[in-house]
Structure 1
Amino acid sequence: MEEPVVIGHDKFKIGEDETAKRELRVVKVHDDVIQIQEEVHGIIALVGASSSVNIKKDELKQLIKIAKEKFGWSDLCE
């Protein structure tokens, strides 16, 4: 499997003195499948947590279509 590409990285405040860190990465699993990984570290996850989703090429096209039509993300390409 290839190295993930980081597409998002941010910190957010969850309490007066507590900050959580979040990172979103994409990795190619197969020619027509990508995996999106989100890792959150901080008090919410205690030691950390991660989840992932496999997306086929045609599913991504549908996701883009839904994001454009339902969420108004008109700057996405097909």
Structure 2
Amino acid sequence: MARGGNETVAFVSEHDRFLSALAGMGARVTDLIVPSRNHFDLPLVLGDPNTALGRTTLAHMGLQTPSGEPPIDDCGSANC
């Protein structure tokens, strides 16, 4: 799951509750917080291999990421 770092308090709360619910059901969840983004412009970096979100998305699709730049496997609640 990903959310922008520029989200409203309500959106952050919704994100966190959904993340907790998935984890509570045993789902393996990666939590990415993308600085300087919100839910409107976050999709713009989904395929960008120069961003953690882009690399992670490409890796989940089985596509190669640039060498030396690993995808995010699990960040917990860290800024990735």
Q: TM-score, normalised by structure 1?
A: 0.27
Whichever of the two has the greater Rg, that structure is 1
> 1 or 2 for the larger relative contact order (CA 8 Å, sep ≥6)?
2
Identify, as 1 or 2, the structure richer in helix.
2
What TM-score results when the alignment is normalised by the length of structure 2?
Answer: 0.27
